Amino acid sequence: MRKVHFATFLFAGLAAGMMAGLFAAPGGAQRPASPAGTATFRDVTREAGIRFVHNSGAFGKKYLPETLGPGVAFIDYDNDGWPDILLVNGMDWSGHVRQHSTLKLYHNNHDGTFTDVTHKAGLDVELYGMGVAVGDYDNDGWDDIFITAYGQSRLFRNNGNGTFSDVTKKAGLTTDPELSTSAAWVDYDKDGRLDLVVGNYVQWSPEKDLYCTLDGKAKSYCTPESYPGTSARLWHNRGDGTFEDVTRKAGLYEPTSKTLGVAILDYDNDGWPDFLFANDTQPNKLYRNNGNGTFSEKGVIAGVAFSEDGIARAGMGADAADYDRSGHASVLISNFSNQMLSLYHNEGNGLFVDVAPSSEVGRASLLTLGFACFFWDYDLDGWPDIFVANGHIDPDIQKVQANVRYAEPPHLFHNLGNGKFIETTRAMGGAFNQPRVARGAAYGDINNDGRPDLLIASNGGASALFRNEGRGNSSLRVKLVGTRSNRDGIGAVVRVTAGRDAQTQMLRSGSSYLSSSELVLTFGLGAHRQADEIEIRWPSGQTERLAKVAAGQTVTVTEGRGITSTRAYEVK
């Protein structure tokens, strides 16, 4: 999390914008998207019964991990078809205990409210948690939870009766103390079992903590440049409940990395999931899956390692999506203040071009510090929009940078459907636009009305739940159940065609920052009232096609069996 002079990045951003305008432009859109304003967000945190305040453990020493968390997740842990909420928590440092803080699991009561079931579920354990990844690693039909942490990350197996068991040691996932961040479940070798990729930040401990200062007087949080990096890890699922560390064997070992964000994508459309690591003050990494259990690093060659002017930025969150219907997944990375967002457009030839400097996405995000970021179609017009959660790391930042705030509003960029975005944050109301020290964020349909709702975490503060109360556009939701593929269907690519409109999504774990959105795909259909065709390319290699599927419902598709259940919701 680098602190650099504003003017340097202003000039660099303008130069990069000119370069992007000269050499590339986003393409693939067929028509303008419907106007913004078909969605509004209402803060329902209190009425939903969410009572959570994150504990960073801060007590004045300014330890590095205090700036990073927490993450959030939507998980249907009891398979009732309603997404529940998991909130990651930190804890007090040894010798400075003030409170008992644990993870929090909230059960969805189907009426807009949630009940705290943390103790009942066996998740009331203390750990210095960071992020969360949700996936059914043992293919028993119940989603499990992996919590990244400072110290020892944890795997909690879903017992299928509303409770979880800590199986970290039994699964072989114990490590030396690490500062782990974002993680994702992924079947990288397509053997039908979910493997686990875990980002790690830097080599830090209270004993190795260094003194840094912003103003030359008081201690401040050190930037990651002060500490050695460390490699991400890849854990291969053996299929017997245990995992093998294959980081070196797979070609992923890179001890200089300082990874905060992890995203899965198939950037070259070869049918194998690739890895994107957003690194903080180190080059971002793009690992191409070779299809034989190994990966090749392509970040520099592909153009996503640096900014357009050759600088390794402070990457935080990451996501990927085909936002312009070009048939290729582009990349979004949030960065430090004075660095703007990265929006790397996939040119379809193995190369990416950062179009943010020449767009409103770049201009609007120059001064903010982004963490969680993701593509989502919040207004259901069929074009992926962008959400970014913002918040600085140092409460005293304004003493040295007058234009940069500690608590910051989020960014919401509406996709105009022609490769361009326009910011619509203020149109969502005062509660949505409220400044926060935000970190993780995820989306999920909490009330089964076909519209994605939003959950935001704050560092050392309260989490916020926003209900999407949009009108006008229809949607279709697709839940996948693998048989030959992993049970969640993670890695499946779904293409939905309605009239002349076609859009594609990959079902993925991870992305955003430290967080996990629901494992159900939502396709905005705009004015269409049915999908003319749904094509599903399963990780196993099997392809299924479904014809004339009505909007206004969640369809469960079981691999090899077609639609096995439906749940209707109201189309307005």
Residue with tokens 């879903």: 158
Query: Is residue 285 classed as helix, strand or coil in its secondary structure?
Result: strand
* pLDDT score of 38: 67
Q: Which two tokens stand for residue 46?
A: 């209190």
- The DSSP annotation for 243-275 comes to EEE-TTTTT---TT--EEEEEEE-TT-SSS-EE
- On average, the pLDDT of the chain sits at 93
- The partner residues of 286 in beta bridges, in order of sequence, read 276
* pLDDT score of 216: 85
Cα 463 from Cα 45, distance rounded (Å): 8
Taking a C-beta distance cutoff of 8 angstroms, is the pair 145, 158 a contact? yes
* pLDDT score of 5: 34
* pLDDT score of 570: 62
List alpha helices for 94-206, DSSP H: 118-121
Cα 254 from Cα 234, distance rounded (Å): 12
User: Which among 323, 512, 531 is positioned nearest to 416, based on CA atoms?
Assistant: 323
Q: Flag residues of the chain having pLDDT under 70.
A: 1-38, 570-572
* pLDDT score of 12: 36
* pLDDT score of 372: 98
Taking a C-beta distance cutoff of 8 angstroms, is the pair 541, 98 a contact? no
- For residue 554, the surrounding DSSP H or E stretch is strand 553-558
Q: Phi and psi for 421 in degrees, rounded to 5?
A: -130, 155
